[in-house]
A and B are shown apart, each in its own frame.
Chain A
Amino acid sequence: MKPASHLSRRSFLQAGALGAAGLAAGGAHITWAQGKTDAKRGGTLVVRSGPIRGIDPHLETWNTTLQVVHQTYNALLKFNHDGTKIQPDLAESWEQKDDLTYVFRLKPGVKFHNVPPVNGRELTSEDVKYSIERQMTNQPGKFQHAYFFLDKLASIQTPDKYTIVFKTREPYAPFLNYIASPWTVIVAREVVEKHGDLQRHAIGTGPFIMQEYRRDQEAVFVKNPAYFKKGLPYLDEVRLQYVIDPVAATAAFRGQQTDISYLEFADVPSIKAAKIHVADITTMFPIVLRTRPYDDQRPNKPPFIEKKVRLAIQAAIRGEEFIEVVRSGWGITMTGPVPTYRKPWALPASARPEYDLKKAKRLLAEAGYASGFETELIVGSPGDNVKSAQVAKDQLAKVGIQVNLKPMEMAQYYNKSYSYDYSMSVHTALTGEEPEEAFRPYYGANATYYRWGNKEIHRLIDEQAKILDQKKRVDMVHQIQRLLLDDAPNVFLYCPIAHYGVQPWVKNYVVPINAYDQRYEEIWLDGKKV
């Protein structure tokens, strides 16, 4: 029941061990299974969805966007379900020719959906070039994944219709991970030119064609008859159903109205008791207690400008209590920005800051705040983070820090968050298969999600990406994390464990560790009541 100690289950998760050097020849001419023979065809898969802002993969960051995107687009490469292997998607083969050069070969005959404006034309290397270039458009903050390749690529060449050659400016360790990222899908130029952006249209090469899209209700997709993976998909239709209320959503799952659904942890015991499979997934979205961001334009302010104050906060916080109270034990503690299951990139357990109230009080006194201080904490509401905020408030009160909670609607919260204008906040951070996703967009020189002006950390973050030797890179990533723990801009509270229910008639589906991966092309249904 309390998986916090069952990290052994996670031991197969050697995710992130994907330094570029490790996967030099990513599998020559791998072909995917030509459809399994015992698969049943037909049926509609109904998956619980959530709020969506827009469905442009290059602009958005929410996983609900990818629920749509992964039905209609493909990428060059993708990760397997536990993030340990890179697999082919559009690319038939790939290889790293030298420290700076990567060559991909596309499978010939891949067609875009037979809908205007692409009308079933063939995918070529030009499309790949276009997509990657679009993804790294330099409009800081708007193109959210630009940091994958912006200023890192020297050139993208397309010597022929099915070949792409990437040259990086310097050795770039994260390269393949970013190519395989769930966000790096290949889009069509005509659609962008016709509509200005892809926020409301999803036309690609994917297994399903979008039939209906109501942002606040549902999205319906039908089978793509000309899908390049012969034999796939098995399903006739995919429907993403947006059920806002979590209690109603779980009831819908129990009532067999959804086939795959995110579930609230409080409902899991009763669903497991009904012998329905529930996957427990340690998420990639750590919860973080942040102090005031700062950079050259926005200098830090007291009391958070004092390192000792930040360290005092860090010493006064006990991560286990958050997991207990907020998630009823469904979570794992953290040792730094990289989640602990991502070995070898995560710091060892010994590096974890100690919980020490005496030390916290002492540090506060040394910094001149012996009687504590008062501050404001913003948090997006509704959600678990409001609960985490309460726990934080309670814990900090024990060392004399009076925290005034200010929950606000999500929209307003993100507004404040991205204007870097707050004293403290409780935030859901993002990480990925690529370890630097956990710190570059937050503490790096051109970070967007947060701002931390520590130049030494900036420098090291820039450096670690250039180290192709995994062992050396791991060392530097550890060093960066230790510096972050020492400078303590944030306290890394915990990584929640999420639950996904899968009805017994859904076959051939393993819930991926990465909540961003929403591919259903290999699922078939057997025994679903219509």
Chain B
Amino acid sequence: MSLLRVMRAKPLGALGGLLIVGLVATALLAPVLAPYDPVEVRSSDRLRAPSLSHPLGTDDFGRDILSRVIYGARISMLLGLGAVAISTLLAAIVGVLSGYYGGRVDTVLQRGIDTMMAFPGFVVLLTIMAMLGQGLGNVILALGIGGTAANARIIRSAVLAIRENQYLEVARATGCRDWRIIARHVLPNIAAPIMVVMTLGLGVAILAESSLSFLGFGVPPPTPSWGAMLSGSGRTYMIQAPWIAVFPGIAISLAVFGFNMLGDALRDLLDPRLRGGPRGRG
């Protein structure tokens, strides 16, 4: 299936994909795109409304909002990718081991997952942040750990679903090593749900960071994270200078929207049961 056909079949997903491409491009090209330094304080330029020299206005430190939003894309991508990488890795280890070996291993690991899931996600985040302190790395770690349990369960179900696959039986019968079976047969087959999980997780991470920022646990200043811009000066100067919050807010929404749409489309495409519409109406 050519890409164009796919895109036409799933326009929302295509839109999402485009947004994400834009996000990644912005993140990568930030130094080239941003007209100003995002962290330099310029007290004479405070709180300027959008204009030609500052298309998105300036904040209370005189920093250019456009530049901060552009660099914010970097932070969001770092956050998202970092958190998802950690949580997917951990979840995959737990989920694959649990699903593949079953039995005792599964029971023990399941207890562990249940334990983690008994803690409301945000509680876990807050506790970890309180332990580690502020910092971009810590936020990534916290988001990664927080997202592990739920993903582990999903991956485990996916592994369970293919465990009965003939391929595996044959491989085991011929004395193939476990890890080779996992690497060769299990992993490629669960790649689909993993991809969906990762895509959706990216959106969740970005949103979670903004909530953490609101509570004071997010990325420390002067790092230009969208969440910090939205929840900090953005809220304080809501009435006087709404542009400080509006643009990062739009950025967050577009990014989350994009990831979710893309994830949805991926899920639809990769899950054979859900293709096509109800046929055969009378």
A residues with a Cβ closer than 8 A to B are 246-247, 264, 266-267, 269-270, 321, 324-326, 328, 381-382, 386-387, 389-391, 393-394, 405-409, 412
Contacts and interface: CB of A to CB of B under 8 A. Distances in A.
Contacts of B239: 266-267, 270
Interface centre among A269, A326, A394 (most CB of B within 10 A): A394
Given A266-B236, A409-B130, A325 B216 contact: no
B216 A381 contact: yes
B61 A381 contact: no
B43 interface: yes
Contacts, number: 60
A408 B134 contact: yes
Contact of B43 (A266, A267, A325, A389): A325
A244 to B, nearest CB: 10
B222 interface: yes
Contacts of A387: 60-61, 221
A405 B237 CA distance: 23
Contact of A266 (B40, B62, B134, B237): B237
Contacts of A324: 43, 46
Contact of A405 (B60, B220, B240): B220
A331 to B, nearest CB: 13
B41 A407 contact: no
14 contacts: A247-B235, A264-B236, A266-B239, A269-B240, A270-B239, A321-B43, A324-B43, A326-B60, A328-B47, A387-B61, A393-B222, A408-B133, A409-B216, A412-B133
Interface string B214-231: 001000111000000000
B238 interface: yes
A386 B43 contact: no
Given A325-B61, A408-B134, A394 B41 contact: yes
B61 A406 contact: no
A328 B133 CA distance: 29
Given A325-B43, A387-B221, A407-B220, 7 more contacts: A247-B236, A324-B43, A325-B62, A391-B41, A394-B41, A407-B134, A407-B221
Nearest to B129: A409
Contacts of A389: 221
Contacts of B60: 325-326, 328, 387
A394 B221 contact: no
A348 B47 CA distance: 33
B221 A386 contact: yes
B221 A390 contact: yes
Chain B interface size, as a band, is: 20 to 34
Interface centre among A266, A269, A389 (most CB of B within 10 A): A266
B127 to A, nearest CB: 12
B61 A390 contact: yes
Interface string B112-134: 00000000000000000010011
Contact of B46 (A267, A325, A406): A325
Interface centre among B40, B43, B237 (most CB of A within 10 A): B43
Nearest to A411: B130
Contacts of B47: 328
A84 B274 CA distance: 79
A324 B44 CA distance: 9
Interface centre among B41, B133, B237, B238 (most CB of A within 10 A): B41
Nearest to A265: B236
B225 to A, nearest CB: 13
Contacts of B216: 381-382, 409
A389 B221 CA distance: 9
Interface in B67-125: none
B187 to A, nearest CB: 41
Given A324-B43, A325-B43, A381-B216, A406 B240 contact: no
B164 to A, nearest CB: 50
Contacts of B62: 325
Nearest to A381: B216
Contacts of A393: 222
B34 to A, nearest CB: 18
A305 B168 CA distance: 69
